[in-house]
Amino acid sequence: MRPHGVSNAYPTREEDPTCCIRRLVSRLDVSYRRKDGLKPAKPIFHRLSQTSQERRDASLTERPVDATVLTPSDVAAAEEKGKTVLYLAYGSNLCNETFRKARGIRPLSQINVLVPTLRLTFDLPGIPYTEPCFANSAIRDPGSDVAKAVEGKPDYHKDRWHKGMVGCVYEVTPSDYAHIIATEGGGASYEDVLVDCYPLPSADTVPSTPTTSPFKAHTLFAPIASATSPFRRPDPSYAQPSARYLKLITDGATELELPTEYQEYLNGIRSYTITSKRQQVGKVLFASIWMPFVLMLFGLGKTFQDDEGRVPQWLGMLLGWVFKGMWVSYDGVFRRAFGNGERTEECDEEDEGRGSLAGVRKSVIYCDSVVNLV
């Protein structure tokens, strides 16, 4: 059964490995840009006008876009008819630096929204020690929030928001939306779904139950990866995002003037920080071994991808093997030898009430002394 307010979503279907790879590529492509030492002038992005009520009302009769059959001629025909697409942005796409500058999207209008049927997650694995995880979306089950509260289990800081996804709906042209599909996923591995979005009033808090009139917006939803998938960690919520990536999200929330309550939640998320010399050594060694392969395959992906952003099956499988091998080497060797590459070691007890902080500190001091002796 599909969740209420979500059209054409298939959250239990196994996720295509190439879908995960394309999402990782899209985020890392932004992560590793402009590292030539130059600091270009930061462009000024003016706030757009609010999406009109007429356009929001028209969205109620729209249907999901089938990305598997979307062609350049379809996009051109929609452009000629003056059609637009309402796209739900979240995560780093809230930031102008990412969405409007790096991705080159030129939205026509915008409106801040609450989406009760979705929730923000950080369960997309990245690269240990550098970019441990990235933002993603998942179906929200309000019942699970109640169950956690009853059981008294401590949440990770990034899982402590229980009011649904807060984001921004942008009105974009069909060609810009086709570009979003190509860079974020595209093809059969991603589903274009329509979700009910409730405009957020100008207030410091987010309502538990929205009272504004909903409208429909498109977003790209990936099915849940199985527990045995190489793109799913044993504890999907365990990893912490990097400070760089988290800043994109918090900067975006500030730029969009999202409710203070939600901004405080985002600012309370702990970022991954290297706290020992052995972790720093592990980061350098891990990058020197795996980044040449990753960057080479990303380059091949850009060379061989089609107009919809899809890479050949053989390249997708190769990327999947490299990605799996990267995380297997981390779990089997690097984590044991060089320490945690997913979350800050000293934060474990303070952040989640798990483990002994004194023991962690003792092990860090011991490992640092070993590194110094070596």
Backbone angles phi, psi at 269, to 5 degrees: -70, 130
Dihedral sign for Cα 35, 36, 41, 44, please.
negative
Q: Does 265 belong to an annotated binding site?
A: no
Only one residue has tokens 């409208």, namely 215
Buried-state track 231-244, b at ≥16 Cβ within 10 A, e below 16: bbbeebbbbbbbee
Q: Which two tokens stand for residue 248?
A: 């994109």
Q: Does 87 belong to an annotated binding site?
A: yes
Eight-state DSSP code of residue 374 = -
Is 4 in contact with 193 (CB distance < 8 Å)? no
**Out of 97, 131, 184, 345, which one is annotated catalytic?**
184
Q: Which two tokens stand for residue 196?
A: 């009910």
Q: Does 91 belong to an annotated binding site?
A: yes
What is the C-alpha to C-alpha distance for residues 188 and 297, in angstroms, rounded to an integer?
A: 21
Q: How far is CA 187 from CA 16, 44, 131, 191, in A?
A: 10, 34, 26, 8
What is the C-alpha to C-alpha distance for residues 131 and 343, in angstroms, rounded to an integer?
A: 10
Dihedral sign for Cα 236, 242, 248, 254, please.
positive
Q: Does 156 belong to an annotated binding site?
A: no
184 is annotated as an active-site residue: yes
Q: Does 185 belong to an annotated binding site?
A: no
What is the C-alpha to C-alpha distance for residues 345 and 358, in angstroms, rounded to an integer?
A: 11
Helix (H) or strand (E) holding 209: none
Spatial neighbors of 139 by CB under 8 A, at least 6 apart, are: 3, 6, 9, 11, 117, 118, 119
Q: Which two tokens stand for residue 312?
A: 């050949």
Amino acid code (one letter) for 192? D
Dihedral in degrees, nearest 10, Cα atoms 294, 299, 305, 307:
130
In the Cβ-directed half-sphere of 92, how many Cα atoms lie within 13 Å? 27
Q: Does 188 belong to an annotated binding site?
A: no
Is 221 in contact with 9 (CB distance < 8 Å)? yes
> Could you list the active site residues?
184
Annotated binding-site positions for substrate: 87-92, 245
